[in-house]
Structure 1
Amino acid sequence: MEMEKLSNGHRAAVPTDDEVPQEDQIFLQHKDGPTKTPQFTDFEGKTSLGMSVFNLSNAIMGSGILGLSYAMSNTGIVLFLFLLICIACLSSYSIHLLLRSAGVVGIRAYEHLGMRAFGHPGKIIAAVVITLHNIGAMSSYLFIVKSELPLVIQAFLGQTSGSDDWFMNGNYLIMIVTACIILPLALMKHLGYLGYTSGFSLSCMVFFLSAVIYKRFHIVCPLEVFANHSVSAEVSGDACATTFFTVNQETAYAIPILAFAFVCHPEVLPIYTELRNPTKRRMQNVGNVSILGMFIMYFLTATFGYLTFYENTEAELLHTYSKVDPLDKLILCVRLAVLVAVTLTVPVVLFPIRRALQQLLFPGKAFHWPRHIVIALCLLCVVNLLVILVPNIRDIFGITGATTAPSLIFILPGLFYIRIIPTEQEPINSRPKIQAACFTALGFIFMTMSLTFIGLDWTSGEKRSLGGH
């Protein structure tokens, strides 16, 4: 899941010359002394290459995986694969830009790169974008609770259809879960132990993928339930046909969903900090392997989910299974695992937001319990309100994936690279900086097109039959 993993209490260490890229050895200097080798960290990283891959994979993995089958149903297999490859490659290049920029100035935090590139406004912009993205991530997690918890309660009660009881209302349930579980955890001063839930979260998603593959061979198309209860009165002859390339009104959400699923960039530098013998090449390998692993997992999940429900795939895949067999024990176990994982992840994601807000609004202030509590309460109230008002998890994936995701993947890394890499080393008309400028422009184009198409979909007035409710 999207969460930050930082270590404390390590010893100071100075990397050897062969561990520090050449561009790292020319910058930071003592005011009255010789050149000092810049460091990515003030302590010695002890995390192995394999564990760093695991940590970054957890940072990439998130609720976006639940929307990938829906994206494939509105693009077709071939177009989806092409888009997935493009987003994965661009994410890897974005990590390269961040590592090069951080290597020059010895900085290990995303918002501090903004400070180095554009001064205080750059730090504010980076912190705000990260905050908004994490709010979107928290909203997507709570939306899963809103849509899945009533189905779990329904299954435990042995009911095959919903009821009007208050405990079957997702809006009430997210408020109860927030007040009883998330808020007490979010009010703690330190939340380090919940970092262990990252392993559980990844295990849940592997379990989810296994269930999706298994159910593909046990759910027969055409789906009579959809034929009886869908908006259409009858199932068309193409309801179970595999589509390799298609474009429709819902295709506008495909790229934002994919971008949302690959955002991990605020966590790249903290993980780099903890890497044993940190070099740009080793960390780039960590990024490439993590992205490749998630690429395979994403493609398998999207493909088998799509080949199970075809055009009837909903924006939140788990919710689609309830239309076939609400009492299915395997899917019930998957739901419970995912619900526990996302619920425990919400307070972890909230902590970086609160820290960013405290740095922006109360810089230099010592820890203060009333301020600590009020910020947590306000954030959770805002997120709950968003989840209650937003009718579809697709909208959360779409808006977050169309705004903060391209900012974190495309726009800010490209701008940081152009501003931070010295012109003496790479002139503004050099190929690397032209590539970074094109990368940044691609981010603006992607954001503009996605928001335009999503806006057209919202204003079309057509009834949305796909969703997690």
Structure 2
Amino acid sequence: MALPATMKVLGLVLGIGIIVFVAILTELSVSMLLRFSKAAGSTSYGGVMGRAFGIGGRKLLQVCVLINNVGLLVVYMIIIGKSTCDVLSGTSSSGVRHAGVLQGWFGEHWWNERVFVILLTTLFVFCPLCCLKRIDSLRFTSGVAVALAVVFLVIIAGMTIFKVVEGSIAMPRLLPDVTDINSVWQLFTVVPVIVTAYVCHFNVHSIDNELDDDSSIQPIVQTSLLVCCMIYVMTSLFGFLLFGDSTLEDVLANFDTDLGIPYGSLLNDIVRVSYALHLMLVFPVLFHPLRINLDGLLFPSAGPLVLSKRRFLLVTMGMIFVVYLGANFIPNIWDVFQFSGATAAVCLGFIFPSAIALRDVHGIATKKDKVLSVFMICLAVFANMVAIYSDIQALFKKNALPRQRHLTWGYK
């Protein structure tokens, strides 16, 4: 839901181009990771990292999975809750109040405040789904999640087309607004957001292990990435066309106003509720690798997690509690995306697979693999170092502004 906001920075042409480009790089990196995993006889991402770089490499991977997935799950809870992501309870963004669905229907009460909404969702949705031990058990809920995403996309596309035909949508920005060197660096701040959307490498081995025919994993990955790319492009396109420069960091927060279309209020509610349900069903899919990697980090010499009921419940409930706390104390999904995307996500998606290929402990790397690996590492490091620098610079400016105002008022 942060992708439409990236179009404000990049413009439609460059923004959509980068979404497609990152999808292609992701397919290449996953394909390379699977090929080197089979050569190493590894059935997990951590296993192939361990073969290439020893225990240190395996633990570094596990830490990155923790950072990336905890960040994403916190974002999901924030969106479902109240902060800047206005879905079920409500939110305030830039000083403007955005009423959520429940508050719009019933008014403001203690039971539809952020903390309580997230608590109920955690107890009655996340806990039962996250207690399923096999990722294959989530195939039905994953199918429903995709269907809900399609519902969201169809409605937002219909709204946008109606507004275009009506002539009430202004010409969108096609290219970034570059005025000085700082505006150039600002372009890189959206890269972590787009990268985070595609990182799926930590789930590929789990899915592969549960397939009867392991040769089918490659077509599954390619089809999934194609579907994701189409959804991301259409969401970014229609979301930015619909709201233009008023697009918020989470576009769902924009769906609390009268858009001037028939049944607009009903459609707004359907959009927000359908996407909230979608996130609820996707949550356990991301939680599965988080639990496995945390267990491997804390109990490296223990047996399989699924065989220890006590350890399974301890790790599961402990991580859900940590994510719940994070969702109640972190106000902004953009901050989470930029931090996890510029650090853990880029490592999981591009740097680690490339490093495995360059290490080439089994001697199967081709010249193409090595050239591609060097390219991905250099691109990832450069883009995300600039993004981190720009984010830190923006943070200092944001903190300096209230201080300047305070000094000005004190002087007066």
* TM-score, L = length of structure 2: 0.81
CA distance in 1, matches of 2:25, 2:342: 15
Further displaced range: 410-419 or 239-248 = 239-248
- CA separation of 1:85 and 1:337: change in aligned 2, threshold 3 A: closer
CA distance in 2, matches of 1:360, 1:307: 45
Contact kept? 2:136, 2:210, Cα under 8 Å = no
Q: What is the aligned partner in structure 1 of residue 97 from structure 2?
A: none
CA distance in 1, matches of 2:128, 2:150: 29
Which residue, 269, 289, 309 being the options, matches 1:332?
269
Further displaced range: 313-322 or 201-210 = 313-322
Q: What is the aligned partner in structure 1 of residue 92 from structure 2?
A: none
CA distance in 2, matches of 1:251, 1:171: 34
Q: What is the aligned partner in structure 2 of residue 246 from structure 1?
A: 176
Structure 1: gaps spanning 5 or more residues: 1-65, 225-238, 465-469
CA distance in 2, matches of 1:421, 1:433: 13
Is 1:197 the equivalent of 2:134?
Answer: no
- CA separation of 1:272 and 1:456: change in aligned 2, threshold 3 A: same
**Counterparts in 2 of 1:125-164, with a 5 A limit?**
125-146=60-81, 147-150=86-89, 151-157=100-106, 163=108
CA distance in 2, matches of 1:308, 1:416: 43
Is 1:365 the equivalent of 2:302?
Answer: yes
Q: What is the aligned partner in structure 2 of residue 27 from structure 1?
A: none
Shift of 1:320: 0.8
Q: How many residues align?
A: 375
- CA separation of 1:426 and 1:167: change in aligned 2, threshold 3 A: closer
CA distance in 1, matches of 2:338, 2:13: 21
- CA separation of 1:166 and 1:97: change in aligned 2, threshold 3 A: same
CA distance in 2, matches of 1:107, 1:386: 33
Shift of 1:197: 0.6
CA distance in 1, matches of 2:137, 2:214: 25
**Counterparts in 2 of 1:52-451, with a 5 A limit?**
66-146=1-81, 147-150=86-89, 151-157=100-106, 163=108, 165-187=109-131, 193-219=137-163, 240-247=170-177, 248=183, 251-274=187-210, 277-279=213-215, 283-324=217-258, 328-365=265-302, 367-423=307-363, 425-426=364-365, 430=367, 432-451=369-388
- CA separation of 1:380 and 1:116: change in aligned 2, threshold 3 A: same
- CA separation of 1:369 and 1:304: change in aligned 2, threshold 3 A: same
Contact kept? 1:197, 1:341, Cα under 8 Å = no
Shift of 1:449: 1.7
Contact kept? 1:72, 1:306, Cα under 8 Å = yes
- CA separation of 1:355 and 1:274: change in aligned 2, threshold 3 A: closer
Contact kept? 1:104, 1:420, Cα under 8 Å = no
CA distance in 2, matches of 1:140, 1:438: 30
CA distance in 2, matches of 1:191, 1:283: 15
Contact kept? 1:240, 1:309, Cα under 8 Å = no
Backbone CA RMSD of aligned residues? 3.1
- CA separation of 1:188 and 1:438: change in aligned 2, threshold 3 A: closer
Contact kept? 1:256, 1:400, Cα under 8 Å = yes
Contact kept? 2:258, 2:264, Cα under 8 Å = no
CA distance in 1, matches of 2:156, 2:23: 22
**Between structures 1 and 2, the one with greater helix share:** 2
Shift of 1:176: 3.1
CA distance in 2, matches of 1:137, 1:100: 27
Contact kept? 1:411, 1:439, Cα under 8 Å = yes
Contact kept? 2:195, 2:345, Cα under 8 Å = yes
Q: What do residues 309-368 of structure 1 show as CA deviations (whole Å, max 9, x unaligned)?
A: 000011111221113369711231232222223223334432332222222222343554
* TM-score, L = length of structure 1: 0.72
Contact kept? 1:221, 1:240, Cα under 8 Å = no
Structure 2: gaps spanning 5 or more residues: 90-99, 178-182, 403-412
Q: What is the aligned partner in structure 2 of residue 56 from structure 1?
A: none
**Secondary structure of 2:87's partner?**
helix
Contact kept? 2:40, 2:362, Cα under 8 Å = no
- CA separation of 1:193 and 1:97: change in aligned 2, threshold 3 A: closer
CA distance in 1, matches of 2:213, 2:325: 45
- CA separation of 1:344 and 1:291: change in aligned 2, threshold 3 A: closer
Contact kept? 2:149, 2:278, Cα under 8 Å = no
Q: What do residues 33-74 of structure 1 show as CA deviations (whole Å, max 9, x unaligned)?
A: xxxxxxxxxxxxxxxxxxxxxxxxxxxxxxxxx111111122
Contact kept? 1:155, 1:332, Cα under 8 Å = no
Further displaced range: 190-199 or 435-444 = 190-199
Shift of 1:401: 1.7
Contact kept? 2:188, 2:384, Cα under 8 Å = no
Contact kept? 2:130, 2:287, Cα under 8 Å = yes
Q: What do residues 208-264 of structure 1 show as CA deviations (whole Å, max 9, x unaligned)?
A: 110111111445899x9xxxxxxxxxxxxxx94411111458644421111111111
- CA separation of 1:155 and 1:405: change in aligned 2, threshold 3 A: same
- CA separation of 1:371 and 1:275: change in aligned 2, threshold 3 A: closer
**Secondary structure of 2:270's partner?**
helix
State, as a whole percentage, how many aligned pairs show the same letter.
25
**Secondary structure of 1:314's partner?**
coil
Q: What is the aligned partner in structure 1 of residue 180 from structure 2?
A: none
CA distance in 2, matches of 1:403, 1:242: 31
Contact kept? 2:186, 2:387, Cα under 8 Å = no
Q: What do residues 182-218 of structure 1 show as CA deviations (whole Å, max 9, x unaligned)?
A: 2344456667533311001111111111011111144
Shift of 1:175: 2.5
**Secondary structure of 1:79's partner?**
helix
